Structure 1
Amino acid sequence: MPHVFRPEHAMRLLSEERQRLLPAARVLDALDLRAPCDAVDIGAGPGYFALPLARLAQGKVYAVDLSPEMLDMLRQRAADEGVSVEAVQGSADRLPLEDHAVDRALMAFVLHEVPDREQAVREVYRVLRPGGRFLLLEWDKRPMEMGPPVEERLSVEACEAMLTSSGFRVLHRIYPNDVHYGLVAERGA
């Protein structure tokens, strides 16, 4: 069973170091947000990406996470910042959303933690509207001082193959820094 990020470490997800490494607005540019649009942040944690996503998308934004503690933190941060986000408890491989519910989807550093990864990717495909975009962010699969154990990481090629086999068209890769990669994919009709 893969390692799952624990709520007691949530402040790491909001740290200044992470903000330098992964500036949320710059990373979210890869989703080609056209306001208003509806979006989902899968594995949203305390809302590092969900809150900026809600400001940029200007539509309905769902923040899905397994952890009630993370969702409580996210709700408090959203209230403090005056941002509207619908926090929903659920798992990546069984998203609690209707078919074709959103125009954009984000899954940041979560897929390597999901036991049924292929099912999680199929779920993203299911909830996206035709032509919708998906940004999948993961850790580079090599040893480094931060992040999950290397044996739990997914290579960019493995993720690309998973997306393609689920019906996505991979548009391009992004490299927001020297330890992470992202895949931008589009759902077909």
Structure 2
Amino acid sequence: MPDSLSSSIRGEYDGAATEYDRRWARYNRASLALLRPWIAGRKLGRVLDVGCGTGNLAGALAEWGAAVDAYVGVDLSPAMLDIAAPKLGAGGWPGAAAAGSALALPVATASFDTAVCASNLHYWPGTGAGLSEIRRVLRPGGRLLLVDWDRAPLRMRVLNLWMRRALRVEYQRMYSRQEIRALLHDTGFRVDHEARGAAGVIWRLAAFEAASIH
């Protein structure tokens, strides 16, 4: 990400870190639940959590009985990573965290079997570059599990305008489910499954299970 945007997002989440899990508990549970059918009881191998925040995915992986060889979380915010640290090995697997951007992941090429991107696609400038970077770090045939806002419903388009104009929330773009599907296709992923869901009254979400095509 450009330095100014990265710094702004990092500062926002550093400041919100101590209240994040309490404030966003309902949203986090509902958004991750959309990925559960592709996680529960599945063999995930080495897992990369892109934009891991406070590490809630690690707890979900353990709760849902996923078979994980190792877990690595990457996030821009050091304060969020500090809170994530005790959760990373929730299922008894090796866990680690690294500060970094989705556009320049600090991990080796073809080193993960599964990548998860939960509610941070909308922050990325050059979304195609971020998805291509995830594809780089996945092994051939590796899977990306992605969930993000769905711009298509009217209430989400209204929310988008309100956050942009009234609240001045800094994010790049809110995508529709169709747009996310096209982005995945254009960056070398085959979409195998899709799901839609909600988090509370307002938030409408889209989720994807996609395979990396090499």
TM-score, normalising length from structure 2? 0.74
User: In structure 2, how many angstroms separate the alpha carbons of the residues matched to 1:131 and 1:180?
Assistant: 25
| Residues 120-167 of structure 1: CA deviation (Å, up to 9, x unaligned) | 000111111111110111112124669x93783111122111111111
In structure 2, the residue matched to 1:17 is: 26
User: In structure 1, how many angstroms separate the alpha carbons of the residues matched to 2:124 and 2:82?
Assistant: 22
Other structure's SS at 1:94 match: coil
- Is the contact made by 2:147 and 2:206 (CA closer than 8 Å) also made in structure 1? yes
* 2:60 corresponds to which of 45, 52, 73: 52
In the alignment, structure 2 segments of 5+ residues that lack a partner are 165-171
User: In structure 2, how many angstroms separate the alpha carbons of the residues matched to 1:57 and 1:125?
Assistant: 21
Is 2:119 the partner of 1:98? no
How far the C-alpha of 1:33 sits from its partner, in A, is: 6.2
Other structure's SS at 2:104 match: coil
1:169–1:32 Cα change, 3 Å: farther
* 2:163 corresponds to which of 149, 153, 163: 149
In structure 1, the residue matched to 2:149 is: 139
Identity percentage of aligned residues: 29
User: In structure 1, how many angstroms separate the alpha carbons of the residues matched to 2:36 and 2:137?
Assistant: 19
- Is the contact made by 2:46 and 2:113 (CA closer than 8 Å) also made in structure 1? yes
Rg comparison, structure with higher value: 2
- Is the contact made by 1:51 and 1:85 (CA closer than 8 Å) also made in structure 2? no
In structure 2, the residue matched to 1:172 is: 193
Greater helix share, structure number: 2
- Is the contact made by 1:31 and 1:133 (CA closer than 8 Å) also made in structure 2? no
In structure 1, the residue matched to 2:46 is: 38
User: In structure 2, how many angstroms separate the alpha carbons of the residues matched to 1:157 and 1:58?
Assistant: 31
How far the C-alpha of 1:169 sits from its partner, in A, is: 0.6
Other structure's SS at 1:176 match: strand
In structure 1, the residue matched to 2:74 is: 64
In the alignment, structure 1 segments of 5+ residues that lack a partner are none
| Residues 5-26 of structure 1: CA deviation (Å, up to 9, x unaligned) | 523333344544235533x466
TM-score, normalising length from structure 1? 0.83
